[in-house]
């Protein structure tokens, strides 16, 4: 059985792989949903790693200059982890609605 740190390591590697995988072509929605499925799996199997996962991906994709402050374990990281654990990321919850 893999420990939570190994699950985190693999989840980060999987999302990085999804981000560059040519099989998705230009379908950013499918790429995003696949990544959300990885996040959900991690949130359910190793919730303590959720904030670390959020910070690591924020830094990898350069979303913010304050990733730890925004998504770390003392800020939004636990909230995002909880949302992922309940979300139907492969369904409606994983889709962007443009009105």
Confidence of residue 99 (pLDDT cuts 50, 70, 90): low
Residue 93 lies inside a defined structural domain of this protein: no
**What pTM value is reported for the model?**
0.90
- What is the average pLDDT value for the chain, to the nearest integer? 93
Residue 97 has pLDDT above 70, yes or no: no
Domain that holds residue 56: 4-87
Instruction: List, for residues 12-49, the tens digit of each pLDDT value.
Output: 999 999 999 999 999 998 999 999 999 999 999 999 99
Residue 27 lies inside a defined structural domain of this protein: yes
Give the count of domains, the chain.
1
Q: Which helix (H) or strand (E) holds 80?
A: helix 77-86
% the chain with pLDDT above 90 = 87
Residue 98 lies inside a defined structural domain of this protein: no
R_g (Cα) of the chain, nearest Å: 13
| 3-class secondary structure per residue, 39-54 | HHHHHHHCHHHHHHHH
3-state SS of the chain: helix, strand, coil percent to 5? 70, 0, 30
């Amino acid at each position: 059985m893999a420990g939570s740190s190994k699950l985190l390591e693999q989840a980060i590697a999987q999302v990085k792989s999804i981000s560059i995988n040519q099989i998705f072509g230009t379908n950013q929605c499918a790429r995003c949903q696949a990544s959300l499925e990885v996040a959900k799996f991690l949130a359910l199997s190793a919730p303590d790693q959720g904030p670390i996962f959020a910070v690591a991906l924020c830094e990898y994709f350069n979303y913010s200059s304050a990733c730890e402050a925004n998504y770390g374990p003392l800020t939004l990281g636990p909230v995002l982890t909880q949302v992922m654990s309940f979300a139907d990321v492969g369904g409606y919850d994983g889709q962007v609605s443009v009105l």
